[in-house]
């Protein structure tokens, strides 16, 4: 019995020493964090580490702080450090223990992981997402965006450009087959809609890599919004531009394949592709600024968490674009080709078949929509002389 009591006392003593060591480690790390100031670097270095200038970083911290857990202990990690830790992760990829900054050594890997989770969840609050990623809902707002887009191209009444891109992820443990895209690696397929200034108007980041662009488009909220605008019957001319992977619809127009050289259809297709290049550039800048989304970094997280990270990076992208920050260095060549390779060409018959497949086989309705879309494209888009004023 005495031997058993002695063993229990030894275990308790070891546990007390372990707890004391943990508390001392927390105190040391807190003291180190207090001594180091992440803002005490040059503006260039700060932008390199976090992709935001100091002013914007402080504004972001102030906007997120009311929704984050407030420190309860003296050794707790402050909110500003959690936000900067998440920004550093977005900028550099899936390394949760970066070694470029000394203050990061004062945070354990579990603390870094919890900080990233908290910041990502807060940035996915509906009010924060809508404050930074917003498709123009009011008539006058749409007119301003359409006018801005028309100044950049000869195509009128275009409110934005839509395209898909793949965000690489590590091999999932559940249903991994549906996350394999046509390039042969695991990903989620993200649909981006932006304007000519590369401001993201809408993002859909919830579909596995095997999903094609037409399927995502068929069930997304922005399509429902475009249909509602088209059906309001006020004579408003408003549509998006997409590549040939999307169906031709009255509210979404695609290039005309095999148009004869010198024909107005060919001229329209060239203008269409030139204008729609905005969304390709938007995606490249997004991935170049936040390397966690690029092909050189495969996010080792559950796909739902990856979707939230994509939304958070899109919020930060719009903050950077609206602040007119300089574009980041381009992503590696293979990453650029990955996005460009999604622009495959289908003829009008294939467009119709794709839409039939994703729209439940209601072929009669789909054929009518296709005819309406082709009529609009022929009358309003191809012949610039007949383009009506955007009221």
Bridge partners (DSSP) of residue 36 are none
Percent pLDDT > 70 in the chain is 79
Task: Give the residue with greater pLDDT, 105 vs 311.
Answer: 311
Interval 355-369: pLDDT, tens: 444 444 457 777 887
Asked if residue 8 has pLDDT above 90, the reply is no
Length of the chain: 391
Of residues 190 and 301, more confidence is placed in 190
Check residue 336 and give its pLDDT.
44
Residue 337 has pLDDT above 80, yes or no: no
Is-contact 128 245, C-beta < 8 A?
Answer: no
First to last CA, the chain: 92
Binned at pLDDT 50, 70 and 90, residue 173 comes out as: confident
Angle at alpha carbon of residue 209, lines to 208 and 215, rounded to 5°? 75
Token pair recorded at residue 177: 């087959």
CA distance linking residue 122 with residue 16, whole number of Å: 36
Higher pLDDT, 316 or 339: 316
> Which of the four pLDDT bands, split at 50, 70 and 90, describes residue 102?
very low
Distance CA 137, CA 360 (A): 28
Compare 196 and 332 and report the one with higher pLDDT.
196
Asked if pLDDT for residue 344 goes beyond 60, the answer is no
C-alpha radius of gyration, the chain, whole number? 25
- Of the ranges 97-106, 138-147, 357-366, 378-387, which is most confident? 138-147
Q: How many CB atoms lie within 10 A of CB 36?
A: 15
The CB-based long-range contact list for 252-261 (8 Å cut-off, 24+ gap) reads 252/162, 252/217, 252/223, 252/226, 252/373, 253/373, 253/376, 253/377, 253/381, 254/351, 255/345, 256/377, 257/345, 257/346, 257/347, 257/348, 258/347
pLDDT at 38: 84
Residue 256, token pair as written in the block: 């005309």
| Confidence tier at 343 by pLDDT (50, 70, 90) | very low
Domain ranges within the chain, ordered by starting residue: 1-124, 128-339
Of 42-46, 171-175, 244-248, 341-345, least confident by mean pLDDT is: 341-345
Examine the pLDDT at 315 and tell me if it is beyond 60: yes
DSSP 269-284: HHHHHHHHHHHHHHHH
Number of neighbouring beta carbons within 10 Å of residue 43: 11
pLDDT per residue over 36-93, tens digit each? Answer: 678 888 999 899 889 999 999 999 999 999 999 887 766 678 899 899 999 999 998 7
- Mean pLDDT taken over the chain: 82
Q: Which residue has the higher pLDDT, 73 or 389?
A: 73
Question: What pLDDT shows up at residue 334?
Answer: 46
């Amino acid at each position: 019995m005495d031997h058993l009591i002695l063993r229990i006392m030894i275990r308790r003593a070891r546990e007390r020493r372990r707890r004391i060591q943990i508390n001392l480690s927390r105190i040391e790390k807190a003291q180190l964090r207090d001594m180091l100031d992440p803002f005490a670097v040059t503006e260039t270095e700060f932008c390199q580490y976090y992709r935001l200038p100091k002013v914007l970083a402080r504004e972001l911290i102030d906007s997120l702080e009311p929704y984050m857990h407030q420190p309860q202990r003296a050794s707790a990690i402050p909110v500003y450090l959690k936000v900067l830790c998440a920004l550093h992760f977005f900028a550099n990829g899936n390394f949760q223990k970066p070694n470029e900054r000394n203050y990061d050594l004062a945070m354990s890997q579990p603390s870094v992981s919890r900080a990233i989770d908290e910041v990502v969840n807060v940035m996915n609050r509906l009010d924060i997402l809508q404050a930074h990623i917003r498709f123009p809902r009011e008539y006058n707002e749409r007119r301003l965006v359409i006018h801005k887009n028309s100044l950049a191209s000869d195509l009128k009444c275009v409110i934005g450009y839509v395209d898909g891109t793949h965000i690489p992820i590590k091999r999932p443990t559940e249903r991994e087959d549906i996350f394999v895209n046509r390039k042969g690696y695991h990903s989620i397929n993200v649909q981006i809609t932006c304007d000519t200034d590369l401001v993201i108007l809408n993002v859909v980041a919830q579909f596995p890599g095997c999903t094609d662009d037409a399927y995502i488009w068929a069930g997304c909220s922005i399509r429902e919004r475009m249909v509602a605008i088209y059906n309001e019957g006020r004579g408003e001319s408003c549509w998006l531009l997409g590549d040939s992977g999307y169906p031709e619809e009255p509210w979404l127009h695609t290039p005309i394949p095999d148009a004869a050289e010198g024909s107005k259809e060919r001229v329209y297709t060239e203008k269409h592709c030139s204008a729609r290049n905005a969304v390709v550039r938007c995606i490249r800048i997004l991935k170049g600024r936040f390397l966690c989304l690029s092909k050189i970094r495969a996010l080792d997280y559950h796909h739902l968490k990856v979707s939230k990270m994509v939304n958070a990076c899109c919020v930060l992208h719009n903050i950077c674009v609206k602040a007119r920050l300089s574009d980041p260095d381009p992503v590696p060549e293979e990453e650029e080709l990955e996005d460009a390779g999604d622009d495959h060409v289908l003829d009008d018959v294939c467009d119709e078949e794709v839409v039939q497949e994703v729209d439940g086989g209601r072929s009669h309705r789909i054929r009518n929509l296709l005819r309406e879309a082709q009529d609009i494209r022929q009358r309003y888009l191809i012949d610039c002389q007949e383009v009506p004023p955007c009221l």
